[in-house]
Amino acid sequence: MPRSRSRSRSRTPQEDLQPLPAGAKRISESDYFLKSDEFRVWLKDEKDRYMDELSTDKARKYFKKFVKAWNRGELASRLYSGVDSDTVRSHQTGYKWSFVEREGGKADRDAMKRVREAVASDSHGPSPSSSSSTRVLGPALPPGTAGRMQGPSMPSASDLQSAREDAAELDGRDRQSSRKRARQEERDRVEDAVGPREVGREAMLANKRAKRDADRSFRNAKEDGDEVDADTLMGGDSFQAALAKRDAAKSRYADKAGSAREERDMANRERRDALREKDRATMDMFKAMAKERFG
């Protein structure tokens, strides 16, 4: 069966080995971003289209044609040797700025050219056509202000808000510390009046032992027929020992509570003094800044 003639002619090895102008290398569709400048120039010169007018898919299709023409050496020689930044900018978009078309637009065009040269110099380095002298863009400083040291500015609204928040936080901590100290003092007064309440298994066993001793003493006195004295009724030595034990526990608890309370009060005072010192330093800084700025 004869081979169909509709099939496109494949490239010969001689075409693949043929050198490109300016010693350029062959490219592929993956070089879309690498050859974006040359592609923009070719797209405007050959297809009369701008890059910003195309969708992504359409731009990819045009770039595929560009790759084929590039590898065949069919493009203009300036594309193979590299395009300058001015050419790329002139082919980048079809939008025309309104101030260029105004009356007296030559000065505007000159100013825009100087801006383009400055941007190109910052982005791509100085171009050969640019002057060796350095131009200073932007408005000049007012006379007499070039060497004057600028003082600190007034505190902003955020600084004032931060200072107010710090002061409110300090007041809140003071109130909280005062309420906590008042509750602790009230608790200590109650414990001083009635003594610490014994809890736990040891307290329960001590109470049972004291009760058994009191019952035994009462039974012995009743069996002997003796007069039951006040010591027997009150538990005798075991009751006195329980009282002494309670007083000792109460004293130890009071000493421990007092020491802990003093430590807490000292820590609270230190934190409060630190916050007040910080607030005072902040306000002094604001006053100094305002005095330096406004006199």
The CA distance from 255 to 267, in Å, is 18
Instruction: Please indicate, yes or no, whether the overall pTM of this predicted structure exceeds 0.75.
Output: no
The whole-number pLDDT of residue 2 equals 44
The torsion region of residue 22 among left (phi > 0), alpha (psi -120 to 50) and beta comes to left
> Which residue is associated with the tokens 């820590």?
267
The CA distance from 276 to 238, in Å, is 56
Q: Are 238 and 214 in contact (CB under 8 A)?
A: yes
Q: Is the pLDDT of residue 17 over 80?
A: no
- Token pair of 200 as six digits: 């736990």
Q: Which residue has the higher pLDDT, 187 or 279?
A: 279
The whole-number pLDDT of residue 130 equals 44
For 14-23, letters b (16+ CB in 10 Å) and e give eeeeeebeee
The whole-number pLDDT of residue 8 equals 46
Q: Are 21 and 73 in contact (CB under 8 A)?
A: yes
Q: Are 35 and 26 in contact (CB under 8 A)?
A: no
Window from 13-22, 89-98, 283-292 with minimum mean pLDDT: 89-98
DSSP run (H or E) holding 9: none
Total Cβ atoms within 10 A of residue 243: 12
The C-alpha torsion from 72 through 78 and 83 to 88, rounded to 10°, is: -90
Phi, psi of 34 (to 5 degrees): -70, -35
Q: Name every residue whose Cβ is closer than 8 Å to that of residue 42 and which is 6 or more positions away in sequence.
A: 66, 69, 75, 76, 79
Q: Is the pLDDT of residue 41 over 70?
A: yes
At 121-177, the pLDDT tens digits run: 665 555 444 444 445 455 555 555 544 545 566 777 778 888 889 999 998 999 999
Sign of CA dihedral 91, 95, 96, 99: negative
Window from 77-81, 171-175, 269-273 with minimum mean pLDDT: 77-81
- Which pLDDT band, with edges at 50, 70 and 90, does 100 fall under? very low
User: Percentage of the chain surpassing pLDDT 70?
Assistant: 68
